[in-house]
Amino acid sequence: MNKTGKDLDEAGTPSNFKVRSIDLETGEYTVIMNRQDAEVLGLRSLDRVKISNGEGMIVAIVELTGSVVEKGALGILKNGRRSLGVSDDDEVRLVPVTRPRSIEIIKKRLDRIELSTEEIQILTEEITNHRLSDIELSAFVTSTYMQPLTTREIKDLTLSIVKNGEVIEHDVEPIFDFHSVGGVPGNKVTLLVVPIIAAAGLYIPKTCSRAISSAGGTADILETVANVTLPGHRIKEITETVGGTIAWGGGVNIAPADDIIIRAEYPLAIDPYSQVIASVLAKKKAVGADHLLMDIPTGPQTKVKTMDLARTYARDFMEIGQQIGINIQCAITFGGQPIGRNIGPALECKEAIQILEGIPPSSSALEKATSLAGIILEMSGFSGDGKEKAAELLRSGEALEKFREIIDAQGTEIKDITAEDVPIGNFSADICSVQRGYVSSIHNKKLVRIARAAGCPHDKLGGLVLEKKNGHQVDKGDVLFRIFSSNEQKLKLALSTAKRLSPFEIEGMVLERVPGERVIHTVQ
Amino acid sequence: MNKTGKDLDEAGTPSNFKVRSIDLETGEYTVIMNRQDAEVLGLRSLDRVKISNGEGMIVAIVELTGSVVEKGALGILKNGRRSLGVSDDDEVRLVPVTRPRSIEIIKKRLDRIELSTEEIQILTEEITNHRLSDIELSAFVTSTYMQPLTTREIKDLTLSIVKNGEVIEHDVEPIFDFHSVGGVPGNKVTLLVVPIIAAAGLYIPKTCSRAISSAGGTADILETVANVTLPGHRIKEITETVGGTIAWGGGVNIAPADDIIIRAEYPLAIDPYSQVIASVLAKKKAVGADHLLMDIPTGPQTKVKTMDLARTYARDFMEIGQQIGINIQCAITFGGQPIGRNIGPALECKEAIQILEGIPPSSSALEKATSLAGIILEMSGFSGDGKEKAAELLRSGEALEKFREIIDAQGTEIKDITAEDVPIGNFSADICSVQRGYVSSIHNKKLVRIARAAGCPHDKLGGLVLEKKNGHQVDKGDVLFRIFSSNEQKLKLALSTAKRLSPFEIEGMVLERVPGERVIHTVQ
């Protein structure tokens, strides 16, 4: 029984229909009706109807057909049949209803009117319950892009998203959390930060995502060696016993409204500012975070392009965090080139373990991870140098041991994992410099496109290993990076993509800039 | 073969799939793919793929499924199977392609960047070819609401819509046309204006719409006595031989992009300003109009709520008309209460014929029709008083004769039609005043809701007859209006709706206002 239909007025006379199964899935409840029936009932495409039988009731969106469903029948999709408990030829009662209130509320947004707390709650509830069509949802998403929500509206949206999903309540405290806004390739630092923090005796139930447009999300990376799909109660248990998790956020039903909103943002390739904040904070609030460190990679080729924007994000994150009871600090980090050497799920996992083992292939990932973990340690009240303490937890092997405990608790077949245990693709090819000079820039997005051409993120064993980074000197013929793939065809595609895109710029002079990855700014 | 796919780059390796028929229709080409296949190909919901077999090629939007379509199969909907000429178990080749350019163009609009002529052409072409998902289309529609197009963009959009549809080219000239922005109930004047103009020897190939949110569009009204579905060549022939048509615009493929855009506006209940102008003018340009009179009903309960907005519309219509080669004049008309007495398809048709017969049941419809027809006559170069000439063509019976010729040419079973020939609903009920006083206001939208409750526009014989209008004196118990329906159940629903909504306001004093329907402003 979809309780959110109760507020909709019946707007016509009821009639009976015979169920016809349509084997399709949609997010929202949709029913397919013959055009002639719709005409009699005065219904148009995307109007709403209440469907009920003895047991259940749903509010569904009407789609019309000339031929798929005959007169007197009603095509009902899987989710609707499940909720109603009906199957072919069962009878259901249908009555047109008024539009959901959320449409009026979206219209207000289009007219640039600030929404009340109650309106945001209604809207979020109806989004969560799949009551909006794609057209309506897109209008809301577009409006938040063209006219950002106010800080108060973002706060209300965040809390509404939390309320309309699963919440993990811990029996221990305080709970720490870490989140990167993303946008920079090779950012495997979560695999370092979580074990360092847990090794320090703190609690960090980290949930993370899979790749959307990147070569690999943290969930994809860890999944090359361990299970990442954990229900909420397992996240709680592992956090309380081992100290931390690195779990896939999609495995637990936190903030489902956010997933629905993101689905509408993806085809438009937009990341509305206010939505980004609500999205992140809702997920952190839902896992019970008391203290949160935000990593905001900044640079012209990342999501956050300027320091000004990064500072605005930082300020709003902290302000809204305070309003919803999360103590937030933000680290604006260098996003001008990939973090570390490796890009792609297994390769990033391998590099993270190398760092845990004390044999980092490059300094930037180590540097970034210890800086970030150090801030969290200082947030916990540690009075010394947090970064030094983090480095110490790495050096002593305690972080490696904690990493092994975490993946063991989450589920892995590999005991006492080492970097050697991480499989990588069998096919590889080198991309070499055609001239002598210095690496003056590395194009993040081009590298991601090459890694994806090689099969990432689906091919977890594919990816790139950078042999040179910004400021490095190269000779003609030097290897710039190596491409890996499990599939020879994809390797070839990645090679031709690499040649076409040319992601490295080599210039014949020494660059003035200090390799940026060493710079880390903290806003507090 | 969908030629508009040519510009999309292949963005992955091709693979073969077996066709699985999905019996559903959508506007755009959609294919349903198993999630596992999509993961291997790196495809997400709403990504684009090129599908081809020996004969044809389509660019389709990907939707994902866990169970409906098995691995290796591809669910293809009706329109796609038709375009490709494939059926179950045929093999097709699939290759991921880059996003259509229109998405980039829509993104620009979201960023408030003015679009170039070429960009508007690409966007319109891709909308026409159903290349956009609902989410993308809605983002465009929402953006035109939140950030109206410039006059130049509206002009380009208008011409692009025309170009991407059927165009009627006449062998006679000049061509006159008439259009009402709508929003006022009972506006049957097209059934008077067209025969008056044709009776004067001018050419007026009028196309009109069916009801969307009203009780009856002009197409619905005339359809109670004649065929209104005419292909383009018949509109041309009838115009050239009889002088005019009153044809359903949906019967001819003019301005298809506009229909697609309107489908996305309906669920949001928005009428973006710039879209209204492009929509109207594209349809008029496509039927070859040289001179156009626009009726802009204005009043707080119509689409155009203020004189200021009406004047803005008038100015923009005329300016853009000039740029696309249509001479436009605008009449801002009173929209404060229904036009004439009758609301609903058959009832409005009956009233129009009564006026043509010289026995008008009220003066406002006659007054409005002759005023508007008079302006068109003056636009044609008629040097006398246009309105007087229009009235003369009515009085002489020439307009009635022309109306009979028009419906005869379009197709009707009724020879020498009279108002008596128009059927109306068998069930009726009166709504009476509960107090003595003067009618101080009549609520348009409430009347429409009552008429729709009575079955309009589907029940062509249902509707309302107003016995009292603004400023009329009523006694307690006097009939205010009568409801008609073909269906007793619906009549009851309409009655209870009428009692609940109470569309008439009766006040106990003489009103100062002159019955507004006599006022007509002309902007030129």
Interchain pair A145, B32: CB under 8 A: no
The CATH number of domain B3-97 is 2.40.40.20: yes
CA distances from B430 to A176, B353, B494 (A): 71, 24, 11
Contact residues, A window 482-511, toward B, CB-based 8 Å cutoff: 489-490, 493
Rounded CA separation B451/B465 (Å) = 10
Confidence of residue B301 (pLDDT cuts 50, 70, 90): confident
Closest partner CB to A24 (pick from B68, B145, B490): B68
- Residues in B closer than 8 angstroms to A39, CB to CB, are 458
Phi first, then psi: give them for residue A333, nearest 5 degrees: -115, 160
b or e along B75-85 (b: 16 or more beta carbons within 10 Å of the residue's beta carbon)?
bbbbbbbebbe
The nearest alpha carbon in chain B to A210 belongs to B39
Q: How high is the pLDDT of residue B6?
A: 54
- Mean pLDDT by groups of 10 residues along chain A of 524 residues: 54 84 79 87 84 87 83 90 90 87 93 97 92 92 96 97 96 96 92 98 95 89 97 97 95 90 86 92 96 93 90 94 96 92 97 96 92 96 95 97 98 96 96 90 93 90 96 92 93 92 78 33 39
Closest partner CB to A268 (pick from B22, B139, B267): B139
Angle at B101 between CA A498 and CA B274, to 5 degrees: 155
Rounded CA separation B136/B257 (Å) = 14
Whether the CB of B142 is below 8 Å from some CB of chain A: the reply is yes
Closest partner CB to B268 (pick from A103, A267, A489): A103
Rounded CA separation B466/A309 (Å) = 61
- Write out the H or E segment, with its range, that includes residue A64: strand A57-65
Q: Cα torsion at A265, A269, A275, A280 (round to 10°)?
A: 100
Rounded CA separation A499/A301 (Å) = 20
Sequence-ordered list of residues with C-beta below 8 angstroms from that of A392, at least 6 positions apart, any chain: none
Q: How high is the pLDDT of residue A188?
A: 95
Q: How high is the pLDDT of residue B518?
A: 35
Q: Cα torsion at B114, B118, B123, B124 (round to 10°)?
A: 110
DSSP string, B266-334: GGGT---HHHHHHHHHHHHHHTT-SEEEEEEEESTTSSB-SHHHHHHHHHHHHHHHHHTT-EEEEEEEE
Q: B304 has which bridge partners?
A: B298
> Which CATH number is A176-419 given?
3.40.1030.10
Tokens of B461: 């014989």
Rounded CA separation A337/A463 (Å) = 16
pLDDT over threshold 50, residue B158? yes
Q: Helix (H, G, I), strand (E, B), or coil: what is residue B524?
A: coil
Count CB-CB contacts under 10 A for residue A7. 13
- Write out the H or E segment, with its range, that includes residue B245: strand B244-248
Q: Where on the phi/psi map is residue B46: left (φ > 0), alpha (ψ -120 to 50), or beta?
A: left
Domain residue ranges in chain A: 3-97, 101-147, 176-419, 427-507
The domain made up of B101-163 has a fold known as 1.20.970
The pTM of this model reads 0.85
Chain A: closest CA distance from residue B377 (Å): 39
Whether the CB of A200 is below 8 Å from some CB of chain B: the reply is no
Whether the CB of A343 is below 8 Å from some CB of chain B: the reply is no
- Residues in B closer than 8 angstroms to A106, CB to CB, are 268
The nearest alpha carbon in chain A to B98 belongs to A267
Contact residues, A window 252-271, toward B, CB-based 8 Å cutoff: 263-264, 266-270
The answer to whether the beta carbons of residues B119 and B108 sit under 8 Å apart is yes
The answer to whether the beta carbons of residues A31 and A60 sit under 8 Å apart is yes
Q: How high is the pLDDT of residue A147?
A: 95
Tokens of A15: 């009639």
A219 residue type, one letter: A
Sequence-ordered list of residues with C-beta below 8 angstroms from that of B48, at least 6 positions apart, any chain: B8, B59, B60, B61, B62, B96, B97, B98, B99, B100
Q: What is the pLDDT of residues B376-424, one digit of tens each?
A: 999 999 999 999 999 999 999 999 999 999 999 999 999 999 999 999 9
Rounded CA separation B161/B286 (Å) = 9
CA distances from B492 to A13, A37, B462 (A): 11, 20, 12
Tokens of B517: 């329907």
ipTM over 0.85: no
Interchain pair A142, B146: CB under 8 A: yes
Strands A437-442 and A504-507: antiparallel
Q: How high is the pLDDT of residue B5?
A: 53
Q: Helix (H, G, I), strand (E, B), or coil: what is residue B344?
A: coil
The domain made up of A427-507 has a fold known as Aldehyde Oxidoreductase; domain 3 (3.90.1170)
Interchain pair B263, A45: CB under 8 A: yes
pLDDT over threshold 90, residue B108? yes
Give B349-371 as a 3 state SS string: HHHHHHHHCCCCCCHHHHHHHHH
Interchain pair A135, B106: CB under 8 A: no
Q: Peptide bond preceding B457: is omega within 30 degrees of 0, i.e. cis?
A: yes
Q: How high is the pLDDT of residue B382?
A: 94
The answer to whether the beta carbons of residues A132 and B293 sit under 8 Å apart is no
Rounded CA separation B286/B288 (Å) = 5
Phi first, then psi: give them for residue A239, nearest 5 degrees: -60, -45
Q: How high is the pLDDT of residue B520?
A: 43
pLDDT over threshold 70, residue B521? no
More confident residue, A493 or B121: B121
Highest mean predicted confidence (pLDDT) among A262-271, B20-29, B203-212, B408-417: B408-417
Angle between helices A134-146 and B101-110 (to 10 degrees): 50
Q: What is the pLDDT of residues A388-411, one digit of tens each?
A: 999 999 999 999 999 999 999 999
Q: How high is the pLDDT of residue A144?
A: 96
Rounded CA separation A468/A478 (Å) = 9
Interchain pair B25, A66: CB under 8 A: yes
Q: How high is the pLDDT of residue B7?
A: 59
Long-range contacts made by residues B81-85, C-beta under 8 angstroms, separation at least 24?
B81/B19, B81/B21, B83/B1, B83/B2, B83/B29, B83/B56, B83/B58, B84/B51, B84/B52, B84/B53, B84/B55, B84/B56, B84/B57, B84/B58, B85/B53, B85/B55, B85/B56
What distance lies between CA A489 and its chain's CA centroid? Answer: 29
Whether the CB of A134 is below 8 Å from some CB of chain B: the reply is yes
CA distances from A515 to A343, A518, B161, B516 (A): 19, 6, 53, 76
Distance between terminal CA atoms of chain B?
46
Tokens of A368: 């970034």
Closest CA to B234 of B401, B409, B408, B402: B409
Chain B: closest CA distance from residue A27 (Å): 11
CA distances from A4 to A7, A52, A60, A93 (A): 7, 14, 12, 18
Rounded CA separation B220/B198 (Å) = 21
Closest CA to A145 of A272, A261, A266, A276: A272
The nearest alpha carbon in chain B to A454 belongs to B12
Closest partner CB to B139 (pick from A46, A142, A147): A142
The nearest alpha carbon in chain B to A497 belongs to B11
- Residues in B closer than 8 angstroms to A25, CB to CB, are 65-68
Sequence-ordered list of residues with C-beta below 8 angstroms from that of B103, at least 6 positions apart, any chain: A267, A268, A269, B132, B136
Q: What is the pLDDT of residues B444-469, one digit of tens each?
A: 999 999 999 898 988 899 999 999 99
Q: How high is the pLDDT of residue B270?
A: 87
Chain A: closest CA distance from residue B463 (Å): 14
The CATH number of domain B176-250+266-419 is 3.40.50.720: no
Strands B463-466 and A57-65: unpaired
Confidence of residue B508 (pLDDT cuts 50, 70, 90): low
Q: What is the pLDDT of residues B81-98, one digit of tens each?
A: 988 999 999 999 999 887
What distance lies between CA B160 and its chain's CA centroid? Answer: 19
Q: Which of B271, B290, B430, B478 is catalytic?
A: B271
What is the rounded average pLDDT of the residues B187-192?
96
Rounded CA separation A70/B298 (Å) = 43
Average pLDDT, chain B: 90
The nearest alpha carbon in chain A to B490 belongs to A13
pLDDT over threshold 50, residue B516? no
